[in-house]
Structure 1
Amino acid sequence: MSEIALPTKPCRACCYDMPAKANKCVKCSSLQDWQRYLTFSSSILALLTALVSVSTFAIPIWKSAFAPSIVPFISVNRMNLDSFLVSIGNDGASPMAIKDFFLELRGQGDLRITVPLQVTGNNGQLVVDGNKNIAATLVFMESGDSNYDKVLLERINSDDNLSSSGTCSIVGGFSDLKAPSAVTGSALVNCMNAKMMLRHKFGRDSQ
């Protein structure tokens, strides 16, 4: 009596003849259905583990490399007759040097008045570290020129648009101590109060 030959099929991995209904090769142990796509070698698993570990450390470095080096911000906390009490902050990663400050008044048309300010009241600190802020006092710089003071006062008093439709702001210039770049920051202030401060300062000095 002759034996009945069972149908066979080649293994999908090693091509060894195996029973057609078998789901696992008896030679290489490879699965023959959809489950074969879920198997990974130990080397692939080790590679994936290494990639995850590297990316965990690389992402913060990548972010810091492409993030802005310095991000200045200015907040005006109080306006006195002769000074501005401000907070100067740096949301960037690099240390930021304070270069200069001025009060800017803009009216209608091309009217633009800038008055230099100097930083005091922060123990002479002119550097803000990354993700830090400092408190400082801004005062008007002495011009040493009475004619300049009179002309400035006349310009301020001659334009009512400065307090009605104009804008007034504190503007600061900053530089990155780790790279050759410079940026500015600003904060709006009340124009009526700013004009009152200027009249008090330069009206008194020009007398």
Structure 2
Amino acid sequence: MQGKQLKSDINQSIDVETYLCSQCRHEIPKDALLCSKCNSYQDWRRYISGSQISLALIAAILSITGIVIPEMYRLFHEPISKATISTSSVDGTTLRVTVLNRGDASAVLTKSWMDSEYLAGATVVRLRNDNDALIPPGSKLVIFDIIPLLSELQSYEGSMEMLGYGFSKAEIPKTEVRFELVQSNGDLIIQSVKLNADDLFNLLRANSNRCSAVAEPNFDNGCIGPGELE
């Protein structure tokens, strides 16, 4: 009799609070995370079903989100360009510049000119390809031709003068190529590229060689300089 009472007391002491599985209704411990019968989760993961319907629903939601969010962004965002001159190099009478546009709209390169205390103001800085005037998002290499209004002899003498500047390390007269960029919102910026003694030496020597091959020097081909007549 005492043995039966003791067994009953032990059973009562190890009773575990239970509840029904959310899926199969099997009785499981209250703190169980996984049903021992149907293996379904009992926490927040029970709301995510592995069925094809649930997977299709999730895929549909992701698909709609992928369409709606970009459209909402475009609705409230006005594309704008952020173009600047990044790097430059001079190779003879050829000037190469890299234009970097960090925006999401195109800018326009509207003007380029020489600002110099040494070369004539009439020096031509000409875009080699007119299509390069449009600067889309990203980076773009733009090439210009520099045509000093100097004869073959004047160009040669100028190159020798620049050679002297290079040897003496003296500062040359200010010589810059300036660029005018118009952003997509109408903002205008002007940037410049400075030419050093080596750049001018190579430019003038190349121009001298160019003009030596011209049969009839004139103002149109840029091989007649100040003080010379056609």
The TM-score with structure 2 as length reference comes to: 0.45
Q: Which structure has the highest strand share of the two?
A: 1
Max radius of gyration: which structure?
2
